[in-house]
């Protein structure tokens, strides 16, 4: 009999000690190969080079389009469940990196409606969270000429007609088999909205390769969307995906979450708070005393401070090898490693916060990233919903 998994990974819950190889078998995804890693534009981002993005679905068409200089797009989104922490922005900063390298189109769906189905919070609270999250998203600095931010409730004139079209292609049995028993009919319908998010670049710009860099817990959305695209009722290709491991929580291996007992490092944290959280809460791979650590050394593979640097905050491979070596031989103490990580993270947050402070009013800043009227009409038409007098402004 197959070994039963002792962990849970779904778009709505991540629990247990995750075995990423077994998760690939469960989801039917493929490990990212050395050849695929090498095909990313140089310099290859550490998230790819170090196999944080460790799995994929049909990544080659995207890489071929990058190499050929033809149209290609990236979709990565956000649901406003609360304040953004550093784990939330890793895929967004990665998308910005690829856009800078390749000129990729970037579409960022903002799933404010989904959170009303999932969370026992008021619409007003979700709206307030959305505004704060959007300001952080804008502070990343995407190219407004090549980026579209789509807010489900604000852009319902295009999102809803497309979701209705795609909902016809998704059976309830598929939803149940992929997600489990939904808590409400909103969540039953939401896979059609997610398919809309992932196919929107092609409905606006025409058929082309699309890459979705996401945490592996979000892979079910990609699988359902790829099934919709395979029906060939619409002139779209199946979106490809890059699937990542989870940025570790301060409490130890696992997914960083705003609901964990250990605190998350928020984008709004000042330097003092970052140092306090890392020093107090970051799980250590070192020994129980300085003397023991000098003799036995530490384990960077389980040390959260080292892992945060390795995943995202230190891009220099030689520096990472030096830190690992010194930690293993005991010459680098856990407290010293914590301070190195805290310094890097605080510097990153300082720069992000400065860009955010320089933004103007949200409505003015967001306007340049919104779908144009022509783009809305084009998407609806390609999905079989031509405009009529009721939808004209």
Q: Is residue 359 part of a domain?
A: no
When mean pLDDT is compared across 130-144, 221-235, 336-350, 379-393, the lowest value belongs to 379-393
Interatomic CA distance for residues 185 and 116, integer angstroms: 12
The average pLDDT across 40-64 equals 96
Domain of 206: which CATH number?
3.40.50.620
**Nearest residue to 243 (alpha-carbon basis) of 215, 209, 217, 220:** 215
- For the stretch 173-206, pLDDT in tens is 999 888 888 888 888 999 999 999 999 999 999 9
Q: Is residue 331 part of a domain?
A: no
**Nearest residue to 393 (alpha-carbon basis) of 127, 158, 108:** 158
Q: Does residue 112 carry a pLDDT above 90?
A: no
Q: Does residue 21 carry a pLDDT above 50?
A: yes
The average pLDDT across 250-270 equals 75
When mean pLDDT is compared across 140-144, 148-152, 247-251, 281-285, the lowest value belongs to 247-251
Q: Is residue 81 part of a domain?
A: yes
| The pLDDT value given to residue 13 | 72
- Long-range contacts from 267-271, C-beta under 8 angstroms, 24+ separation: 267/83, 267/84, 267/85, 267/86, 267/88, 267/89, 267/136, 267/349, 267/352, 267/353, 268/83, 268/353, 269/349, 270/346, 270/349, 271/346, 271/349, 271/350
Distances in whole angstroms, Cα of residue 83 to Cα of each of 3, 93, 121, 137, 215: 37, 17, 14, 12, 18
Question: Token pair for residue 347?
Answer: 């510097």
Q: Is residue 2 part of a domain?
A: no
Interatomic CA distance for residues 238 and 265, integer angstroms: 35
Q: Is residue 121 part of a domain?
A: yes
Q: Does residue 153 carry a pLDDT above 50?
A: yes
Q: Does residue 118 carry a pLDDT above 80?
A: no
Q: Is residue 273 part of a domain?
A: no
Structural domain of 169? 8-250
Q: Is residue 277 part of a domain?
A: no
Question: Token pair for residue 118?
Answer: 């999932």
pTM of the predicted protein model: 0.92
Q: Is residue 347 part of a domain?
A: no
Q: Tally the domains of the chain.
A: 1
């Amino acid at each position: 009999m197959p070994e039963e998994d002792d962990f849970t990974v779904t778009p709505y819950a991540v629990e247990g000690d995750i075995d990423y190889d077994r998760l690939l078998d469960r989801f039917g995804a493929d490990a990212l190969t050395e050849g695929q890693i090498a095909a990313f534009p140089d310099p290859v981002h550490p998230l790819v080079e170090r196999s944080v993005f460790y799995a994929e679905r049909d990544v080659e068409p995207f890489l071929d389009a990058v190499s050929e200089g033809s149209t290609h797009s990236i979709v990565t989104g956000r649901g406003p469940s609360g304040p953004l922490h550093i784990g939330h922005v890793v895929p967004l900063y990665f998308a910005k990196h690829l856009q800078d390298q390749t000129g990729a189109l970037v579409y960022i769906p903002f799933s404010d409606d989904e959170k009303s189905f999932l969370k026992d919070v008021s619409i007003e609270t979700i709206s307030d969270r959305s505004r704060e999250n959007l300001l952080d998203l804008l502070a990343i600095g995407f190219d407004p000429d090549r980026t579209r931010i789509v807010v489900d409730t604000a852009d319902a004139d295009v999102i809803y007609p497309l979701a209705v079209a795609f909902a016809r292609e998704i059976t309830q049995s598929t939803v149940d088999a992929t997600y489990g028993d939904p808590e409400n009919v909103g969540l039953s319908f939401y896979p059609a909205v997610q398919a809309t998010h992932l196919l929107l670049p092609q409905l606006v710009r025409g058929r082309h390769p699309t890459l979705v860099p996401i945490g592996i817990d979000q892979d079910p959305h990609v699988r359902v969307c790829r099934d919709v695209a395979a029906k060939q009722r619409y002139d779209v290709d199946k979106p490809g995906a890059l699937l990542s491991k989870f940025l570790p929580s301060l409490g130890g291996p696992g997914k960083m979450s705003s609901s964990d007992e250990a605190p998350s490092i928020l984008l709004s944290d000042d330097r003092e708070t970052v140092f306090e959280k890392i020093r107090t809460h970051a799980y250590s791979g070192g020994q129980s005393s300085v003397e023991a650590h000098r003799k036995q050394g530490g384990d960077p593979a389980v040390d959260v401070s080292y892992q945060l640097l390795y995943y995202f905050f230190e891009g220099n491979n030689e520096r990472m090898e030096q830190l690992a070596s010194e930690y293993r031989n005991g010459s680098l103490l856990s407290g010293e490693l914590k301070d190195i990580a805290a310094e890097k993270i605080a510097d990153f947050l300082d720069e992000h916060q400065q860009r955010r402070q320089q933004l103007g009013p949200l409505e003015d800043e967001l306007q340049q990233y919104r779908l144009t009227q022509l783009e809305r009409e084009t998407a609806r038409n390609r999905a079989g919903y031509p405009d009529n007098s009721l939808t004209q402004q």
